[in-house]
Structure 1
Amino acid sequence: MTENFTLMASSARVRRLSFWSIIIGAGILLLKFAAWWITGSVALFSDAMESIVNVVAAGVAWYAIRVSHIPADANHPFGHHKAEYLSAVLEGAMIAVAALLILQEAVMAFAFPQPLREPGIGLAINALAAVGNGAWAFVLVRAGRAARSPALVADGRHLWTDVVTSIGVIAGLLLALATGWLWLDPLMAVVVAFNILWHGWHMVSASVQGLMDVSVESGDLAEIERTIRENCDGALEFHDLKTREAGRARFIEFHLVVPADMTVERSHHICDRIEDALEAAVAGAQVTIHVEPDHKAKNG
């Protein structure tokens, strides 16, 4: 009962945070577009374009998280966990579109460079937006890891990328103001475009791995093996251990060899003990155990 309540509370918090990402992202977007409007900077325009991706992606992540928390049904007996990976893939695709638009503006600015208007006010507004983004990114990544939510973690990591982008843009524009080199403005926009393309590629790659049923990380796998060994008293061995991750769920499957004369009730008791231990040791564990007689043993 306590475990179910904890899972429900965690799911509710993930959904609540994903909704607030839309609201906060919209506020950050308004600040960045204000900074661009005041200054006319192509670099600040690129930063604002990335925030458009943030807001749209936050909306997609909110919907995907809601879908991923729908209980298993007849058509989806293993649940809807993978919906979160789809949001991260879509966010990566939107990043690519934003990068191409930024590059287009940068090329135009290289051809027709313009002096910045009111740079002090614009940079101060952009710095305020960066601070807000950084604080919210920290909240999302921390909560997403705790709840094993790929969509929330992806959203937070992209915001961290946005923070780094903003810092680079501000530094580049300060240098442009100090030197009078107007070409630094579109150059920073180009750097921003390639930076978000790089992060978008890594985001998509990680999500595709999840869609391809990637195994759990080596540290988690070692913990799973240790937990099985410590709780399989009465069984002869276990083998053919397979794992996969799907959002916050981690599926664990293996064969458990027991003496041929062991009763079904006794073998079931051992399985229950192992399942309880795995669910306590591994967050989101969903365990399937195939019981086999001793002639199926592989280790002697």
Structure 2
Amino acid sequence: MEREKSFWIKISFLVSVLLLIVKFYSFYITKSTAILTDALESIVNVVAAAFASYSIYLSSRPRDDNHPYGHGKIEFFSAGVEGTLIMLAGLFIIYQSIYNFFFPNELEHLVEGIVLITLSGFVNGVVGMLLVKKGKQLNSIALGASGKHLLVDTMTSLLLIVGVLVMYLTNLFFLDSVIAILFSLYILYSGYGLVRKSVAGLMDEADPVAVEATVDVINRHRKPNWIDVHNMRVQQYGGDRHIDLHLTLPYYLDLGQVHDEVEELEQILEEDWPGVMEVFVHADPCIPEKCCHYCQITDCPVRKFPMDIKIDWNANNMSKNQKHYHELSS
């Protein structure tokens, strides 16, 4: 898996370098600030792909004494660096656009520039879609971030082509700076999105997608002996996922039976995840006076009250640090 991640990020880096040359050549022959925005973003692509390559290498290293949860969080840092670079490029473009609005360049060879930007946009789109797809398959935030960045670059390139065509057909060359500023605002927005995601991961913000996926797996394999699941925490670092939860079991089970139930739940979760999965399950005994009302065991030998409700397990009640009988009282 790590080799495949490394392969695709290297492809991203090589493509970014080639398109960087193409876009700066386009700017050189046209003198268009709008085209310069595309070229500057390609510098970000190159730097980000290089950093993502290193982050994937580092995240693939096994856990050690200093990093008991592995090195997967570096991918969040990589996405943050990429987002910051995108935002800096956007700010520089705004400055350059305002300057050129008052001191405009004479635009030349716009048709040739349009052809080159069209070619680079097409290549970016293909590579971007592949990286997003591989990022999902390989559970790599760095690959996914690089792919989304290239897709953003493709969108801006396509809109840029439209803008340059309008300038070419109307000779309203002041639109060069206007188009560049509009694109730079979009670039700032996309950069902020990556930084926001990076900060959320580094701060261990709850990941709704990972939590819902875990809830779905447990519901599909739900057993009567699993009276409830609560205090569940799901964290994802790169391709590694860590799950902590409390599992309520019948109090009359012996230690060996409790171990078997816990091990079965751990195995179910581990087999459902293609990357590295670490599961910690804390077993709680049931409280007959309170748990019998929703316990699903039909032949329970110590039942004191009839079952009169079935509690649906969802991300909300499984994440709370309390047994589910609190839902009945509330």
TM beyond 0.5: yes
CA distance in 2, matches of 1:27, 1:168: 21
Aligned pair partner of 2:214 in 224, 229, 238: 224
Partner of 2:71: 80
CA distance in 2, matches of 1:52, 1:65: 20
Contact 1:227–1:274 (8 Å) recurs in 2:
no
Matches within 5 A, 1:183-202: 183-202=174-193
The answer to whether residue 48 in structure 2 is matched with residue 57 in structure 1 is: yes
Partner of 1:251: 242
RMSD: 1.9
Opposite residue 32 of structure 2, the aligned amino acid is S
Q: Which runs of 5+ in 2 are unaligned?
A: 292-322, 326-330
The answer to whether residue 137 in structure 2 is matched with residue 161 in structure 1 is: no
TM-score (norm 1): 0.90
CA distance in 1, matches of 2:155, 2:213: 35
Contact 1:89–1:203 (8 Å) recurs in 2:
yes
Deviation of residue 99 (structure 1)? Answer: 1.4
Deviation of residue 154 (structure 1)? Answer: 0.6
Deviation of residue 95 (structure 1)? Answer: 1.2
CA distance in 2, matches of 1:32, 1:75: 44
Partner of 1:280: 271
- CA offsets, 1:72-131, max 9 Å, x none? 111111111110000111111111221122122212211122332111112111111111
What percent of counterpart residues are identical? 33
TM-score (norm 2): 0.82
C-alpha change, 1:33 and 1:243, in structure 2 (3 Å) is same
Partner of 2:316: none
Aligned pair partner of 1:111 in 97, 102, 117: 102
Secondary structure at the aligned position of 1:80 is classed as coil
CA distance in 2, matches of 1:186, 1:156: 28
Partner of 1:125: 116
C-alpha change, 1:32 and 1:226, in structure 2 (3 Å) is closer
Secondary structure at the aligned position of 1:75 is classed as coil
Q: Which runs of 5+ in 1 are unaligned?
A: 1-9
- CA offsets, 1:209-240, max 9 Å, x none? 1112122325x534433533535454443322
CA distance in 1, matches of 2:212, 2:105: 59
C-alpha change, 1:68 and 1:172, in structure 2 (3 Å) is same
| Count of aligned pairs | 290
Deviation of residue 243 (structure 1)? Answer: 1.7
Secondary structure at the aligned position of 1:213 is classed as coil
Secondary structure at the aligned position of 1:244 is classed as strand
Q: Larger % of helix: which?
A: 1
Secondary structure at the aligned position of 1:245 is classed as strand
Secondary structure at the aligned position of 2:280 is classed as strand
The answer to whether residue 9 in structure 2 is matched with residue 14 in structure 1 is: no
Aligned pair partner of 1:95 in 86, 89, 105: 86
Contact 1:39–1:116 (8 Å) recurs in 2:
yes
C-alpha change, 1:235 and 1:128, in structure 2 (3 Å) is closer
CA distance in 2, matches of 1:222, 1:135: 30
C-alpha change, 1:46 and 1:236, in structure 2 (3 Å) is closer
Partner of 1:292: 284
Secondary structure at the aligned position of 1:70 is classed as coil
Deviation of residue 191 (structure 1)? Answer: 1.3
CA distance in 2, matches of 1:228, 1:37: 58
